[in-house]
Amino acid sequence: MKRMIRIPLLLLAFAMFVAACGDDDDTSSDDGTGGETPSGETLKVGTKYDQPLFGVNTPDGVVGFDAEIARFIADELGMEVAFQEAVSANRETFLENGTVDMVVATYTINDERKEQVDFAGPYYIAGQDIMVEAGNPKGITGIDDLDSADIKTCTVEGSTSLANLNSMAPDAAVTTFDTYSKCADAMGQGRVDAVTTDNVILLGLADESDGAYELVENPFTDEPYGIGVAKGSELRCQINEILQAAYDDGTWAQIYEDTVGAVASVTPDPPAIDNEGC
Ligand code: GLU
């Protein structure tokens, strides 16, 4: 008889404990199971498919820092992520016409883009640099060396990399493609002498080249990466909260180490989030 009473009491105590744990005003719908999607809604995400370390489409899905950040945000929102390839030039359009709900794609926050879209974050700060053939046969040491008809430089249309090149090296001989991997291929074929964009993108391409390419390592801009959403979207402030929590509990650092950390030995501190208007 005593036993029969004791067990329900224990169960009751346990139930009260569980209820108390679940009562701490948790605004996210993450149930801690990782990957379950309570609402089943889809979050359409535009990301790069050809940028090692940040976003590469593989038979096992999209891998890299941007892809993992996007998955984490979708999880926290209780949604299922559906990736779609975005290139530099179509990111604003994709957000404006609803092709995607969110762009996580090495996407620099700047005032010009803010006229068309909103940004959560920043969640990383890159800097524009230059990649050359191993051994640096043309002796390129910085942006000034690209300001010449004798050096063929490749970058991508619709990027800040191209805008910066045009303003800082107006006499550069510029070739453009829609993706950076095409620039890397062009350098492999001897059609260009240099590729310029964010250092972390170049780091991934150089790493993939098996020693064929190297970085000049003389960055000349700040590129704060934001998460693009449609103008006026409530998602911006929600994502900022999710990012802040990921900074505070070490999730962001873990994602960085698991992706970019394969090549970069130092994990930076995450940048301060711009919460203006939230
Ligand atoms: N972060 C720069 C930009 O948003 C260059 C990288 C890219 O094109 O994705 O334009």
| Both structure tokens of 204 | 């991934």
Question: In Å, what is the CA distance from 274 to each residue of 104, 109, 212, 239?
Answer: 16, 11, 39, 11
How, if at all, do strands 80-85 and 152-156 pair? unpaired
Protein residue with its CA nearest to atom 9 in ligand 1: 106
Mean pLDDT of 127-140: 98
- Does 17 score more than 50 pLDDT? no
Which residue shows structure tokens 């096992």?
Answer: 60
Contacts 24+ apart (CB under 8 A), 26-34: 27/241, 28/76, 28/77, 28/78, 28/242, 28/245, 29/76, 29/77, 29/78, 30/75, 30/76, 30/78, 34/75
**88 CA from centroid of ligand 1 (Å):** 6
| Both structure tokens of 143 | 């942006």
| Three-class DSSP labels, 146-196 | HCCCCCEEEEECCCHHHHHHHHHCCCCEEEEECCHHHHHHHHHCCCCCEEE
Q: Which residues contact 55 (CB under 8 A, 6 or more apart)?
A: 47, 48, 49, 62, 63, 64, 65, 66, 67, 104, 105, 106
**149 CA from centroid of ligand 1 (Å):** 24
What are the residue ranges spanned by the domains of the chain?
9-125+224-262, 128-215
Q: Residue 180 and residue 184: Cα distance in Å, rounded?
A: 6
- pLDDT > 70: what percent of the chain? 86
Counting atoms of ligand 1 from 1, which one is nearest the CA of 158? 10
Tell me what the pLDDT averaged over the chain comes to: 89
pLDDT tens digits, 30-43 = 333 334 344 579 99
Tell whether ligand 1 has an atom less than 6 A from the beta carbon of residue 76. no
- Does 19 score more than 50 pLDDT? no
Per-residue pLDDT at 265: 87
- pLDDT > 90: what percent of the chain? 85
Q: Residue 204 and residue 66: Cα distance in Å, rounded?
A: 13
**69 CA from centroid of ligand 1 (Å):** 17
Per-residue pLDDT at 29: 38
Strand partners, 174: 153
Contact indicator for 177, 186 with CB cutoff of 8 Å: yes
**161 CA from centroid of ligand 1 (Å):** 6
The gap between the terminal CA atoms of the chain, to the nearest Å, is: 59
Mean pLDDT of 140-156: 98
Residue range 9-125+224-262, CATH number: 3.40.190.10
- Does 53 score more than 80 pLDDT? yes
Per-residue pLDDT at 151: 98
Peptide bond before 137: cis, by omega within 30 degrees of 0? no
- Does 213 score more than 70 pLDDT? yes
Same topology for domains 9-125+224-262 and 128-215, yes or no?
A: yes
What is this structure's pTM?
Answer: 0.86
Per-residue pLDDT at 28: 37
- Does 25 score more than 80 pLDDT? no
Per-residue pLDDT at 39: 54
- Does 150 score more than 50 pLDDT? yes
**Upper half-sphere CA count for residue 268 (Cβ side, 13 Å):** 10
Tell whether ligand 1 has an atom less than 6 A from the beta carbon of residue 88. yes
Q: Cβ of 123: how many Cβ atoms within 10 Å? A: 26
Per-residue pLDDT at 22: 40
pLDDT tens digits, 163-211 = 999 999 999 999 999 999 999 999 999 999 999 999 999 999 999 999 9
Per-residue pLDDT at 219: 98
Which residue shows structure tokens 């016409």?
Answer: 97
Residue type, 63: V
Residue range 128-215, CATH number: 3.40.190.10
Per-residue pLDDT at 227: 98
**183 CA from centroid of ligand 1 (Å):** 14
Nearest to 126 by CA among 3, 219, 262: 219
